[in-house]
Structure 1
Amino acid sequence: MGIPAGLRDHLTKHDRQETIIDHGFKLNAGWWDRTLGKVSGGPVRNIDSTGESDRITRGGVFTLADEAITDSTGVGALRLLWHSLHWGTNDSNRGNGKRISTVATDPDRFGRLLRDAAEASRRDPDEAFRLLRPHRRPTIAHLGPGFFTKFLYFAGGGDPAHPSLIVDSRVLRTLNALSVEQGEVRSFKYLFGYGPQTYKDALAALHQLAQDATEELGRDVAPDEVERWAFGR
């Protein structure tokens, strides 16, 4: 059957540098300076090599990944979280004030938890997911899977083979639509506040599409390229 026509067209017209590394939004450093205050992990700044101080890009956030894992204090993980959230919410910063307020109640504990999740994201996405949502509610209030999977994704540092990907409601809607188009039942019941099995299934679908695209197009296609297409479909 091959990969979806829209995905084929997207991957033919765009390479990973354009759709992933350079993918970014307006940076609102002032909002973060005011709202973070003395909470660990600041400041939020552009840290890629583009020289554009007013944007925050995937490529820039990737540079914070290794410190998020090697810094045992958890400060590096908080820095990655804040940058991931700003990238994920664009200039609106919707919901980020509540997330910051939650972390501020115990930044040391939450920072170490995030460090452990970042480390797990590189070898076991299910373990990483369960650290941040062990039951029906997220460990960090207001930080649900649609956003903490962004953190888990960025913890890979831009490695195309990183197993943890962004899975939000828009990605799940696309995966649902593909299953219907193929004559199957909807694959994913919950688009928001979903659990670890949904994450596992979505990762499997995205990785499979990337593998199929690699074989069909004759170039290495990373799973995050498929995620980018699924988000914008």
Structure 2
Amino acid sequence: MTDLSTLSLPEWARGAAVVESPVLIKPEWWRDEISARHLPGTPPVEDRITRAGVRAPADDVFTLLWRTLAWGSGRYLRLNAQRLTSIAADVPRCEKLLTEAADRARSDPGAAFALFRPGVRNEIRYLGPSFFTKFLYFAGGGAPDHPCLILDRRVATVLRERCGWTSLHRKGPWPAETYERYCGLLARWGRENHCTPDEIELTLFNIFSVDQN
């Protein structure tokens, strides 16, 4: 297990411009599929969405989840039909889970993560860490001190290959302990470099795209 206390934010990530482009989505697909399953919440209505748009005050946890899934998926809708069907199978249970996870996300990343993945299976089928950590992040409403961050394969790959976290699996799924360590690492880097942890996360995400080109 990599000793994260020895890792420093690389020079190339310090003071990097945080660039975010709107994500193109298919609002008509979300409207039709959510309506067909009689699911609660309001689907996104615009054909593009930003992080700020996801974080906008939501009517309920389902509205927040639909925005999160749309933003995370873009125009590639793989597995989203299965996710919606899984939620529709037991809406009250999913609502309770989402509500509790959103509440835990404000203070305890590890516990919030463990609600979605308490063992080797996801509590909501087809909703794995790369997507439910997005929900945990957006549950913070944009607060700079919100402790939960997005962890997906792009961020994990850059942390492993360019930042020295050699024990981190590139694709996951990761256990709750790893997620808690990840959030703690980026929080420390943020304090040391006078920026917010999510700015570092977005920088890592963007670097992955640069490395692939």
User: Which of 185, 190, 205 is equivalent to 1:205?
Assistant: 185
User: Which of 179, 197, 200 is equivalent to 1:223?
Assistant: 197
Partner in structure 1 of residue 120 of structure 2: 136
Secondary structure of the residue aligned to 1:101 is helix
Counterpart residue type for residue 91 of structure 2: P
Query: Could you list the runs of 5+ residues in structure 1 that have no partner in the other structure?
Result: 46-52, 68-75, 215-220
Partner in structure 1 of residue 101 of structure 2: 117
- Determine if the alignment matches structure 1 residue 89 to structure 2 residue 95: no
What is the CA–CA distance in structure 2 between the aligned matches of 1:176 and 1:96, rounded to whole Å?
A: 28
Instruction: Give the CA deviation at 1:35.
Output: 1.1
Partner in structure 1 of residue 172 of structure 2: 192
Structure 1 residues 173 and 109: alpha-carbon distance in aligned structure 2, compared to 1, 3 A threshold: same
Partner in structure 2 of residue 48 of structure 1: none
1:179 and 1:187 in contact (8 A); partners too: no
Instruction: Give the CA deviation at 1:187.
Output: 3.1
| Superposed CA offset, 1:30-61 (max 9, x none) | 0111211221123323xxxxxxx431111011
| Superposed CA offset, 1:58-101 (max 9, x none) | 10111235x5xxxxxxxx11111111011001111221111001
- RMSD between superposed Cα atoms in Å: 1.9
Q: List aligned pairs for 1:1-233, cutoff 5 A.
A: 3-10=9-16, 13-14=17-18, 19=20, 23-37=21-35, 38-45=38-45, 53-64=46-57, 67=59, 76-180=60-164, 186-189=166-169, 191-214=171-194, 221-233=195-207
What is the CA–CA distance in structure 2 between the aligned matches of 1:95 and 1:195, rounded to whole Å?
A: 22
Structure 1 residues 116 and 162: alpha-carbon distance in aligned structure 2, compared to 1, 3 A threshold: same
| Superposed CA offset, 1:153-180 (max 9, x none) | 0000000110000011111111112343
What is the CA–CA distance in structure 2 between the aligned matches of 1:61 and 1:34, rounded to whole Å?
A: 19
Instruction: Give the CA deviation at 1:192.
Output: 1.8
What is the CA–CA distance in structure 2 between the aligned matches of 1:27 and 1:178, rounded to whole Å?
A: 31
Q: Number of matched residues? A: 199
Task: Indicate the larger mover: 120-129 or 33-42.
Answer: 33-42
Counterpart residue type for residue 227 of structure 1: E
Counterpart residue type for residue 31 of structure 2: D
Q: TM-score, normalised by structure 2?
A: 0.86
Secondary structure of the residue aligned to 1:91 is coil
1:209 and 1:223 in contact (8 A); partners too: yes
What is the CA–CA distance in structure 2 between the aligned matches of 1:192 and 1:228, rounded to whole Å?
A: 19
1:2 and 1:212 in contact (8 A); partners too: no
Partner in structure 2 of residue 218 of structure 1: none
Counterpart residue type for residue 223 of structure 1: P
Counterpart residue type for residue 41 of structure 1: G
Partner in structure 2 of residue 70 of structure 1: none
Instruction: Give the CA deviation at 1:9.
Output: 5.0
Q: TM-score, normalised by structure 1?
A: 0.79
1:175 and 1:202 in contact (8 A); partners too: no
What is the CA–CA distance in structure 2 between the aligned matches of 1:141 and 1:6, rounded to whole Å?
A: 38
Instruction: Give the CA deviation at 1:128.
Output: 0.7
Secondary structure of the residue aligned to 2:49 is strand
Displacement over 3 Å in runs of 4+: none
